Amino acid sequence: MTIQRVSFQDHLASLDWKQSEHVLIVGPNGSGKTTLAGALLKKRQEADGFIVMPITKSEDATLRTGDFRNYKVVNDYNPAMGVPYKGERNVMIWPKLKRGMDASLFLAEQRRVFRALFNDLLHRGRRTVVIDEMHMMSDPHFIGMAKEIALQFHQGRSHYVTMVALSQRPSWIPVIVYPSVVHAYIARTANNDDLKRLSELGGVDAKLVADTVRSLPDRHDFLYLNPMGDAPLQIVNTNQ
């Protein structure tokens, strides 16, 4: 099977990404995940959905620049207001690290805020939800919301919720997520656990995927695959 190398802009122009189709982006720090996500979400903004991003980091300068400049940042989530927040189409739900707050208290605050968001999403639908660090969000040692996230991946298509999950490692993504992914972007990895987890993507040649991501020449290269469709395999570089 031939794998095309295309420019980032050509890939974005040809990408057919419908509301309720879930996206997976995995790659190490510095690989271009945020750049890729920002460009994809700009495409989503131009379509028909509202975007909400629960942010797990206490601070991240990259999420205040570029394609994210127009996002409204709020520190809490009030279900009575819902999403969009006061009419905003693009919102970051970003719990604040308060003075004197230790790690356990900060995680508890994040858990409270994000649980309110996910509970509300069950009833609202037609949103795009971006998980910036899937491992932190899902792991029970941290925020521990794997069940809520899995529910959205599993049921999202029925009420037009699109999930976009970012992670440093494929093996850090809960296995239940993989069968629901429609668009996947995978950066270079040679880790056996990562390669094994990628085999959970349905409808793809697991060996071809493993061989390709193992040999990607540039850390900003991503293998794009569409496990549930007939789009061709492509290699795109977020710097090009």
Query: Helices 103-124 and 146-155: crossing angle, nearest 10°?
Result: 20
What's the rounded mean pLDDT across residues 136-140? Answer: 94
pLDDT value at residue 47:
64
Higher pLDDT, 177 or 48: 177
CATH superfamily of this structure's domain 4-237: P-loop containing nucleotide triphosphate hydrolases (3.40.50.300)
The DSSP bridge pattern shows strands 234-237 and 90-93 to be unpaired
pLDDT tens across 109-128, in order?
999 999 999 988 888 777 89
pLDDT value at residue 28:
92
Specify the pTM. 0.93
Q: What rounded mean pLDDT belongs to the chain? A: 89
> Both tokens of residue 67?
């394609």
Segments making up each domain of the chain, as ranges: 4-237
Nearest in space to 114 (alpha carbons), one of 134, 89, 90, 100: 134
pLDDT value at residue 79:
75
Nearest in space to 222 (alpha carbons), one of 205, 236, 208: 236
48 confidence band (pLDDT: 50, 70, 90): low
Percent of the chain whose pLDDT exceeds 70: 95
**Rounded to the nearest 5°, which phi and psi values hold at 11?**
-65, -45
87 confidence band (pLDDT: 50, 70, 90): low
pLDDT value at residue 102:
95
- Terminal-residue alpha carbon distance, the chain: 24
pLDDT tens across 20-43, in order?
899 999 999 889 999 999 999 988
49 confidence band (pLDDT: 50, 70, 90): low
- Residue 233: CB atoms within 10 A of its CB come to 17
pLDDT tens across 178-224, in order?
999 999 999 999 999 999 999 888 778 889 999 999 999 888 999 99
Q: pLDDT at residue 84 above 60?
A: no
pLDDT tens across 52-79, in order?
999 999 998 888 888 898 898 999 987 7
